[in-house]
């Protein structure tokens, strides 16, 4: 992401086009295989998690998944 000038008042900016590329190359094929309804249900369930819980969940066993 982009970060802005100096430590003071620094927003950080994530661009839509990066997300669009992830969507095209990674998420769309997975969603097509999994099914739209199931995907959105799972996404909504994930969105209910607080940041702390989502991060803990993400760090749980990503290594194992990547190895597969």
Partner 1 sequence: MLETIKEYALERLAIDPQREQVEQRYFEHYLQLAEQAWDLLSTHDEHCGLAALDLDVDNLRAALQWAIKRQPGKALRLAGRLGPYWFIRGDPEALPWLDAALDAAGEQAPAADRAQAQLQRQGLLFARHQEEAARDAVEKALALFEQAGDHAGMAEALSNLAALASYDAEPDQASSYMETACREARLADVHGVLGRTVAMSAVFGPPAERAQAQEEATTLLAEAGDYRNLALLYSNSAYAALLEDQPSRAMHLLDLARRAASRIDSPFMSMIILGNLGLAELFTGNLSRARQAFQDQLRLCQGHAFHMGADEGLTGLAAITARGGDPKRAANLVRRRTRDRLPSRRA
Q: Are 39 and 31 in contact, with CB atoms under 8 Å apart?
A: yes
DSSP E strands in the chain: the ranges are 2-3, 12-13
Q: Minimal distance in Å, beta carbon 48 to partner 1? A: 10
Q: Minimal distance in Å, beta carbon 15 to partner 1? A: 6
Our finding on whether 15 is near partner 1 (CB under 8 A) is: yes
Distance CA 66, CA 38 (A): 22
Our finding on whether 53 is near partner 1 (CB under 8 A) is: no
Give the chain's count of helices (H) and strands (E). 5, 2
Task: Give me the residues that bind partner 1 (CB under 8 A), please.
Answer: 1-19, 21-23, 25-27, 29-31, 33-34, 38-43, 45-47, 49, 51-52, 54-59, 62-63, 65-66, 68
């Amino acid at each position: 992401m982009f970060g802005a000038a100096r430590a003071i008042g620094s927003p950080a900016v994530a661009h839509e086009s990066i997300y669009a590329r992830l969507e095209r190359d990674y998420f769309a094929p997975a969603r097509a295989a999994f099914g739209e309804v199931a995907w959105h249900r799972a996404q909504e369930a994930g969105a209910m998690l607080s940041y702390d819980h989502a991060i803990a969940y993400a760090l749980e066993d990503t290594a194992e998944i990547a190895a597969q």
